[in-house]
Structure 1
Amino acid sequence: MHYRFYEEKKMTVDTHLGEIAPSSHTSMDSAVQTLTEHKDAWIRTPLATRLAIIDTLITDFASLAQRWVAAIAQAKGLDEHDPLVSEDWGGGAWPVLLTLRQLRQVLSDIQQDGHPHIPGPVVTRPDGQVTAQVFPFRPYDRVLFPGVTAEVWMQPGVTVERLPDTQAISYQTKEQEGKLALVLGAGNVASIGPLDLLYKLFVENRVVLYKANPVNAYLGPLLTEAFRALIKPGFLDIVYGGADEGSYLCQHPGIDEIHITGSDKTFEAIVFGTGEEGEQRKASGQSLLTKPITGELGNVSPVIIVPGPWSQKDIAYQAEHLVSSVANNEGFNCNATRVIIQQRNWTQRTQLLKQMRHIFAQLPSRPAYYPGARERQQRFLAAHPEAELFGQQDQTLLPWTFIPDVPANQSDDICFTTEAFCSLCAETALEASTIVEYIQKAVTFANQQLWGTLNVTLIVHPATLKLPGVAAAIDQAIADLRYGTIGVNYWAGTSFVISVTPWGAFPGHSIEDIQSGNGIVHNTLMFSQLQKCVLRAPFRSLMTPPWFVSQNKVAYKLFKKLTYFETAPSWRKLLDIAATAMGR
């Protein structure tokens, strides 16, 4: 049965990059045929050859990184030297080379010892759950990310002794037949597509047909050039188009499995179809697909603010922390902060909100390059006419939108049930007589009231942790939060670019209630039985993180240098990067 995907309206910003024609059925059939003919060869490709391919990919991508970022800037309506383009070096180019560098190390470990090396301690928690510290991944990371650590929590039942057996499964088992994965690329962040297809190829051992999202299809020719070491031997191909082409490929008998980064609506359209018939199939659990599908989808991402004795500097720092997690990439991130949770009677709640407003008011409005942003914002404004707008608004510019004090007992409020996917966030407050009671209520609220399970952030002052029962309550909160990534004093969304950290929803969603998705990506240490990732940082970093909105000028230079650092890392280069980070 034929069905169409849910697709946003076409991009309204004139990119001047030229239209890329959709691939014909004949060309897509040819791509599937070529990949099918080489999928068995890929699973037999020795590690030495894979390492050589990765070395070539690093060289080739680095050689066009400047053009890659310039194309993104043009599509967003920015000059390529605008400090805001730091986001596209830091989120669009650097993660690709960082991932390739990590994959190279992991494949070398497998070649030497049969499994990836875990860089940090592996411990068993009192409740029996095993955690493995994965970041810092290498000594350089301790300098690049001072004080930042990350651990992966395994699914209950995994033991320390068994943990190596759960890594790099596709390299431990000798598959007899290769598989072809269709990767439906996202349109919002330029690194998502390359990272998704690298995961399928090198972690899950699939050849890949990548369909570029129409929003950033302009990057397709550059990706073809950068990844020719995989395309030439028939392990990867790239096609173009929208809903019709995606639908055709999803139903193609040559496709063995599907991965999508995007909307839950698109995911459901693939699985059940659209319209009334699609709703009926979803209600009865009758999937149109006979092949596996995974997805990294949206989220109403919360930040839980734990009350504490915050100084004025603390308030200024954390207000910028929150605003930056909304403003990054103009809010077109699935991990952008959408709901800030606070304790109603915390005396500094209003001070924090006041400082956030001050920062929003100073941020220039930006072109809303992603399709449908204005319409999504209007739906929120219709439900909340009291919303506060900051900045200019015209045919291309969209103001920053803040909706404070949304009643927490209105469970069907759009702020709690719908991902805004634009430059918008909300705030709500919970009644509680103690901090421990508040933490417990905030966890329940995030788990039960907010849509999605992708990422959540906790912010807690070190002095608060010393109060009776609070440290234990925070530890229990981390254990209880049903999110794929939990950030403690660091925006959980930054885990996306670290790459060694797995990225995806908390496991367990059914196809009928997919929310933030199923399956994971990134995860370069190749864990197969993980539950969540926990990212930790100091309450205030020694140096302001480069992704904070006040750091764009420094970040532009820094992330560009970090990108090229990954071509051949060295301590000499790191000293120069450290000097740049300090504004020298």
Structure 2
Amino acid sequence: MSLVTPAPPVDVSGFDAAIERLSTGAKAWAAMSLGERGELIARTHDSVARVAERWTRTALDIKGLDPKSALAGEEWLSGPYATLAGFGTVAHSLATLAGGVSPIGSITPKKAPGGRLAWRVLPLDSREALLFHGFSAEVWTLPGVSEADVRTDSGADASRTGVSGGVGLVLGAGNITSIGPLDVLTELVVHHRATILKINPTFANLLTVYRHALAPLIEADLLRVVQGGATEGAYLCNHDGISHVHITGSVETHDAIVWGRGKDSATRRREGRPVLNKPITSELGGVSPVIVVPGEWTPADLRFQAENIVSMRLHNAGHNCCAAQMIVIDAAWPQREEFVRELRAALTRVPSRAPWYPGSDQRLKDAARAHSGAETFSDGDRLLIQVQPDEVCPLMRTEYFAPVLGLVELDGGGARGLLDRAIEYVNHELAGTLSANILIAPAERRNLGAAFDEAVSRLDYGGIAINTWTGLAFLAPTATWGAFPGHTLDDAQSGIGIVHNALLMAHSERTVVTGPFRPFPRSVLNGEMALFPKPPWFVTARSAASTGRKLSGYASGPSWAKLPSIFASAFRA
């Protein structure tokens, strides 16, 4: 059972003084040199490292997890590790800029379809190449933007001095503990805004932890961490001293902030009269697909990839904005029935874990009620729902934020046909553009050749994962994170703007992460040359807690000496 403590009432009058102090802090940030900014971010990184253990234990208490459980690895990775990696990389980027060198200076891009450039941002050095062996990440820049323009403009915003962005409001997410601190980092470094971080009521018990972890920013009057619910959020959103709002949450919450609630909100939206009188950026989730490209898979491949998909859904008990929700397969795939059987087995095999996020039980009931034939697993805590290709149903338009998986079979007739049909389907039938996943065996990818990259370019998603999960794009600090560009206030879908991007890349369109189709040692036996075993974000990774803790230790101070113990733990997964 979740141990979330309801947030006590907050006196909003204290917010006025906080905003005034932050306004002064933003001006002080504007006066700092790049070197001074980098040193401040580095001190904050060290401060986070000192409370990493307490941070993780508090998150485990909130989510009702046993600290000795392998699932504790989720909290190490998505909390302290992601935060440490982000702050550490940004500190290095600022120091690099202070020395007159671009953070992307060592990267040579390659051509990508449609006049794009693909910039490999993971791995960046030999330590990363070994630590993430078999995994990579590329940031694809916008069509038609030249290499020279990307190089000139990358880091330019962060390099500006003498400019204050005022005070921003970050409405923090209530599911992943690193989201709020990393959003604050983006606000400060890229947009020169001091920040009030209002944490979600689910994370009320983290208030003191955040204040200790981010103490250098607080002491510099660049951050205040507060708590409260909708009342406090509304007060801050409409405060004259707030110049910008950033939210991680649902599109419904975004629209309520922008257009208001009640019967007049539709009229205001239609007439373009938002109630919010300042800019807003957002990350709003969506219905994330997994496209399964048909091929000749071994029984071990079928089992591993079914477990891969189930992990994409059940990580954090299903409460992730990039959690897999709709599986797309080829109706004519000879192994279709065997694959679905393995999917059901994985949903049954993974140990039971009750959803902890508020409202999850009701969303599960709503999903079961809205879709006839929904299959239940783990005493009703997981659902598998098969829908028809021409069906329009809530599963396609609703981010359930709970352990709900959909399955649709399209008439693909092979790898190329399935990709074409699936891309058309997910681009136009599913809500949101945050994340999409593709599973494809190496032989099929080789056979498709350049047509595969061209297919990837037609996916209108800000994060795309090939044979891995888009959660890796979230974890990798050098990657960008956010919806596909082009959304508007009246059609926000998965949001507006990007975060993370610790290399300060300009003109980004999407991040594409790639992993091995098979884990070690089967990867090497099949010619993939990937030395990574079962990834630590798999919900079945037995050593995930140890690996997550050690990776957090590595992110607090990367060194060759820390790698052997990480590998020893990872290979026990």
How would you bin the TM-score normalised by the shorter chain?
over 0.9
The 5 A counterparts of 1:264-279 are 264-279=251-266
Distance in 1 between the 2:302 and 2:242 partners?
Answer: 52
With normalisation by structure 1, the TM-score equals: 0.93
Instruction: Determine if the alignment matches structure 1 residue 492 to structure 2 residue 481.
Output: no
Picking from 539, 552, 575, the partner of 2:517 is: 539
Residue 374 (structure 1) aligns with: 361
Distance in 1 between the 2:97 and 2:10 partners?
Answer: 38
Distance in 2 between the 1:109 and 1:142 partners?
Answer: 21
Residue 539 (structure 2) aligns with: 549
Residue 445 (structure 1) aligns with: 425
| Aligned amino acid, residue 544 of structure 2 | A
Picking from 451, 464, 469, the partner of 1:473 is: 451
Task: Kindly indicate whether the alpha-carbon contact (under 8 Å) linking 1:181 and 1:255 is maintained by their aligned counterparts in 2.
Answer: yes
Gaps of 5+ in 2: 521-532
Q: Deviations over 1:158-191 (max 9, x none)?
A: 1111212221222344454332110000001111
The secondary structure found in structure 1 opposite 2:137 is strand
Q: How far 1:246 moved relative to its partner? A: 0.5
Distance in 2 between the 1:77 and 1:256 partners?
Answer: 37
Residue 230 (structure 2) aligns with: 243
Distance in 1 between the 2:39 and 2:158 partners?
Answer: 17
Residue 428 (structure 1) aligns with: 408
Q: Structure 1 residues 175, 541: closer, same or farther in 2, change over 3 A?
A: farther
Residue 12 (structure 2) aligns with: 25
With normalisation by structure 2, the TM-score equals: 0.95
Picking from 398, 403, 423, the partner of 2:385 is: 403
Q: How far 1:128 moved relative to its partner? A: 2.3
Q: Structure 1 residues 448, 18: closer, same or farther in 2, change over 3 A?
A: closer
Task: Kindly indicate whether the alpha-carbon contact (under 8 Å) linking 2:333 and 2:413 is maintained by their aligned counterparts in 1.
Answer: no
Q: Deviations over 1:255-276 (max 9, x none)?
A: 0001000010110011000111
Distance in 1 between the 2:537 and 2:34 partners?
Answer: 36
Instruction: Determine if the alignment matches structure 1 residue 560 to structure 2 residue 549.
Output: yes
Q: How far 1:126 moved relative to its partner? A: 5.8
Distance in 1 between the 2:106 and 2:16 partners?
Answer: 43
Residue 576 (structure 1) aligns with: 565
Gaps of 5+ in 1: 1-12, 394-398
- Percent of pairs with identical residues: 35
The 5 A counterparts of 1:356-395 are 356-392=343-379
Distance in 1 between the 2:105 and 2:64 partners?
Answer: 42
The secondary structure found in structure 1 opposite 2:556 is coil
Q: How far 1:14 moved relative to its partner? A: 5.2
Task: Kindly indicate whether the alpha-carbon contact (under 8 Å) linking 1:365 and 1:400 is maintained by their aligned counterparts in 2.
Answer: no
| Aligned amino acid, residue 138 of structure 1 | D
Q: Deviations over 1:465-524 (max 9, x none)?
A: 243xx2333211111110001111111222111121100000011111111001011111
The secondary structure found in structure 1 opposite 2:97 is helix
Instruction: Determine if the alignment matches structure 1 residue 418 to structure 2 residue 418.
Output: no
Distance in 1 between the 2:315 and 2:112 partners?
Answer: 35
Picking from 498, 522, 527, the partner of 2:505 is: 527
Q: Deviations over 1:506-564 (max 9, x none)?
A: 0011111111001011111112311111111221132111222221x311101101111
Residue 232 (structure 1) aligns with: 219
Q: How far 1:248 moved relative to its partner? A: 0.6
Residue 209 (structure 2) aligns with: 222
Instruction: Determine if the alignment matches structure 1 residue 40 to structure 2 residue 21.
Output: no
Q: How far 1:23 moved relative to its partner? A: 2.8
Q: How far 1:26 moved relative to its partner? A: 1.3
Query: C-alpha root-mean-square deviation of aligned residues, in Å?
Result: 1.6
Distance in 2 between the 1:76 and 1:475 partners?
Answer: 39
Deviates more, 1:529-538 or 1:516-525: 529-538
Q: Deviations over 1:281-335 (max 9, x none)?
A: 1222221122110000021000100000101111111111111111100000010
Deviates more, 1:556-565 or 1:472-481: 472-481
Q: How far 1:157 moved relative to its partner? A: 2.9
Q: How far 1:56 moved relative to its partner? A: 2.0
| Aligned amino acid, residue 63 of structure 2 | K
Distance in 2 between the 1:118 and 1:371 partners?
Answer: 45
Q: How far 1:120 moved relative to its partner? A: 3.5
Residue 506 (structure 1) aligns with: 484
Residue 74 (structure 1) aligns with: 61
Task: Kindly indicate whether the alpha-carbon contact (under 8 Å) linking 2:34 and 2:159 is maintained by their aligned counterparts in 1.
Answer: no
Q: Structure 1 residues 577, 222: closer, same or farther in 2, change over 3 A?
A: same
The secondary structure found in structure 1 opposite 2:572 is coil
The 5 A counterparts of 1:295-314 are 295-314=282-301
Deviates more, 1:184-193 or 1:36-45: 36-45
Distance in 2 between the 1:127 and 1:249 partners?
Answer: 42
Task: Kindly indicate whether the alpha-carbon contact (under 8 Å) linking 2:318 and 2:355 is maintained by their aligned counterparts in 1.
Answer: no
Task: Kindly indicate whether the alpha-carbon contact (under 8 Å) linking 1:339 and 1:428 is maintained by their aligned counterparts in 2.
Answer: yes
